[in-house]
Chain A
Amino acid sequence: MADGTGGRETIMATREIAAHEIHAHAAPQGFIRKWVFSLDHKVIGLQYYFLALTAVFVGMFLSLLMRIHLIWPNVPLPLLGEIKPETYLSLLTMHGTIMVFFVLTTAPQGGFGNYFLPIQIGAADMAFPVLNMLSFWITFLGYIVMLSAFFVVGGAPLHGWTGYPPLSALPTAGPGEGAGADLWVISIALFCVGALMSALNFITTTLDMRARGMSMMRMPLTCWAWFITAILGLLAFGVLFSAGILLLLDRNAGTSFFVPLVVVNGQLAAHKGGSPLLWQHLFWFFGHPEVYIAILPAMGLCSQLVSVFSRKPIFGYKAMVYAMLSIGFLGFMVWGHHMFMSGMSPYTAFAFSVMTMAIGVPSAIKTFNWLGTLWGGRIRLYSPMLFAIGFVSLFVSGGISGPFLAQPVLDIPLHDTYFVTGHFHLIMGVASIFGIFAATYYWFPKMFGRMMSESLARWHFWFTLIGTYAIFMPMHYLGMAGATRRYSQFTELAYLRDLIPLQKFITYAAIVTIAGQFIFLFNLFWSMKYGKKAGDNPWEATTLEWTTATPPPHDNFAGRTPTVYNGPYEYSVPGAPRDYVMQNDPTTVAAH
């Protein structure tokens, strides 16, 4: 062709257009094919989302019980009775495990990623819909197995979500370390399999199914985030899976991968020669990328939202992409910073700490770029934007405590104290949850055709922003004062007793904040039926999901594959008729 595009490209393009015009997917019929064993990525995304929704309320309930026990250790609770120290630790273990796996690794990626990645890149579905369906049901099975640990003899395990052996390897080391611990490991192994399958789908889809004109550097940052998260998952979950197999063997087959010669309660255990540190290395090799898996989708979404709601392109798109890639890459080289006090070589510790300080740099760059996007914008403070701004605030707060812990010398007083708990809750827990809330408020109109109530959303926002700061900021003070983690009560050491008033404050804040989450729950379900009807593009955003019907048809684009002409953040383009230019708009082709 005269403009230089090759003949082959034209043939390929013509084939694709022809194919999609005839290739409109027939929507499935019947309740089971449509809603249970659906192959439609949108339904699967909703399944993941609602799984995570139940999990987060279970996780919050567990933490509520924990906080109540901490300040009233001897008061029996209605229905549950008195919470014993081992029960507290089981609540703690299951809270962490359920939140990290079935909420933070499920909703942002499996939920929103599944729903919106194909649409945002202009595809009709994920590359492998059957695999996608299987990955959800395996994850669901893992969830059921995890919950079942509460109901077996001995109850749920008490070894923390990190499951360090020998505690997690010896049924005699504590109540719940019998069948409960086996179910915990099996559940995690199932989760790993589901996650690997999902990662396979995300990566193949992103690489091979982008619509014409949707180059990698024109993808919304949400897609980059889901893509990089999937790569992290692909490389990390296999390692956790392996560690889980080894632990299962130590527990049930008499092997000694992780257990040296130990004497529990005067009884010699039938193990010798294993290394507890081997588990820690394997676990944290997975565990550190895992925290980036938990936060990257929210970072991608935050970039999306600050751009849409400031009516400005994201400041430094390329830098944002490189920052996420660096975070992903460096994320595999810092795992030892969880092990500074573990007995690992101090020289190795030093190497890990330098890498860890380095990984703070791309995170800082992203923060500067978010601020740079707000600067000079025309900010519309709708609920998705409130939560995006809240995300930035929480990301800064949670991130600032990182450089303390990254330096081994400062980790000496702070490791295994509430300082760590405050740090990861702010930056991983709450920030990621704000991402989930923001995504819900933002994409609800596209998924359900109605708007969520803005006034209820604002109440939810204030409750949650102020409430979570009230819960987790004081934990830094507790940690500096030496308050150790995973203690079921603070009655035994004098310096811990002195800190009980601050612990009380945290508990009261938690009660109020958790109560506030019911505003969200009500808003979510009420709006599905009674929310104001939404048009196809209520936020006036540019990405491809807003070009299609609300809710999107079975094959996303009603047989018309989009062609992309513009980048994803063309807002307030000088000379354009409106302050936003859709990605598939050929009439206003911006420079990018």
Chain B
Amino acid sequence: MSGIFQRMSMIFRAKADKALDRAEDPRETLDYSYQRQLELLQKVRRGVADVATSRKRVELQANGLNTQIDKLNAQAKKALEVGREDLAREALTRKSGLQQQLGDLQTQHAQLQGEEEKLVRASQRLQAKVDAFRTRKETIKATYSAAEAQTRINEAFTGIGEEMGDVGLAIQRAEDKTAEMQARAGAVDELIASGVLEDQTGQSKDDITLELERLASTSDVETELAAMKAALSGGSASTPAIEGQGTASQPAADQGAQPTAAPTEAPGQQVNGQTQAAQPNTRENR
């Protein structure tokens, strides 16, 4: 029955036989084979660690993308509040690009997780079989003559050989997948580093943020101007916004026009649009 699967079984058996053929004293090769099994176990465990590392990296990247998406969302909202639909549209367009990336990352993450679980199970199976092999190996060495040992060894070898072949394939697959993920993860890192995601000007802020801040500082200045005018005409100096401004209304008004240009001069120092706009005034007026 099942021609394909029988052929596959034959491949695995042929490989185990080949390993046996190299043996001169069958009992010595028991120890040699056991060594190789231990090496393979090490390899599986390293494989598990590699896949876990890749998975964590994907998780970090997804978190990064999520932060960016939230930020763009907030920007779009802010832009709409100040009546700049074009800016809001730009932010949402970028957001949808990032959401695609995030979807890809989530698929990759699920794949890596599946791969990791499989390898962990494979490692447990191999560990159990290696232990069983060791027990059988000691029994064979203690009890049987070389001729008898040969048959027993054949049995032990084919059983463990198949498991080793399977685990070997599993590691290979995991390695291939991990390498592929890492290449893709590298591409996302590059995207962030090249500023497509984070900023386009080499500054710590992207252009949407800068534009929003410029708008915010303009409107702050207007608000403050209005407040000062009200204070001058009203005569009350008790509110903090107009503190000590009785003699400085003209210079303050002149200063007020400058912060709109300031972001291009010293953007690195800005914390946000509001403090940036408010500071020059209060400093000048003290």
Do the two chains bind? no
A interface residues (Cβ-Cβ under 8 A, vs B): none
Q: Which B residues are closer than 8 A to A by beta carbons?
A: none
